[in-house]
Amino acid sequence: MEDVELMRRALALAQEAAEAGEVPVGCVIALGDRIVGEGRNRRETEKNALRHAELEAIDAACKTLGGWRLWECTLYVTLEPCPMCAGAIVNARIPRVIYGAADPKNGCCGSVVNLFALPFNHRPELTGGVLEAECAAQLTDFFERLRLQRPRRRHWTRQQATGNGQQETGDADCHASVRTGSQ
């Protein structure tokens, strides 16, 4: 299989995530032409910050291959990995990372910082922009539909969450802005 075919499978997984109400991110790990791990976002469904597509795919690949070193594998993901997932990629010794859309708010493969360029004991080769327009459109469409469904959704405040009297606001749409090559 070629990079584009494997990214298309990651896009299909991202679509499954979107249909389940999750931010549409999908991930595939391949050993040559064989898919050994797949994942999609499940943070909302499982109420767990660790349920990112990349972590799910790494876990599945480790189980499939019977070890934690994925040193002959390639990871394909529709959105540039975050700091947590970039760390997991380094720890799993994945030598090659292919991503679709850049993440200007949380991306750690060059958008915010490139964690793979730091002097860790493992530095994966990066390729960004594979099916970038399709990956970015999937995310943009998801957040546009979400905003239409909840036009008057309130932003959370830390005071509401903790009751400590401080007013700190945030927004649940942390991935709403996706950068493509044309922006």
SS3 of the chain: the string is: CCHHHHHHHHHHHHHHHHHCCCCCCEEEEEECCEEEEEEECCHHHHCCCCCCHHHHHHHHHHHHHCCCCCCCCEEEEEECCCHHHHHHHHHCCCCEEEEEEECCCCCCECCCCEHHHCCCCCCCEEEECCCHHHHHHHHHHHHHHHHHHCCCCCCCEHHHHHCCCCCCECCCCCCCCCECCCC
| Distance in angstroms (rounded) separating the CA atoms of residues 70 and 85 | 14
Active site residue 38: no
Give 41's Cβ-side CA count (13 Å radius). Answer: 22
Q: Which of 22, 54, 80, 132 is catalytic?
A: 54
The residues assigned a catalytic role are: 54
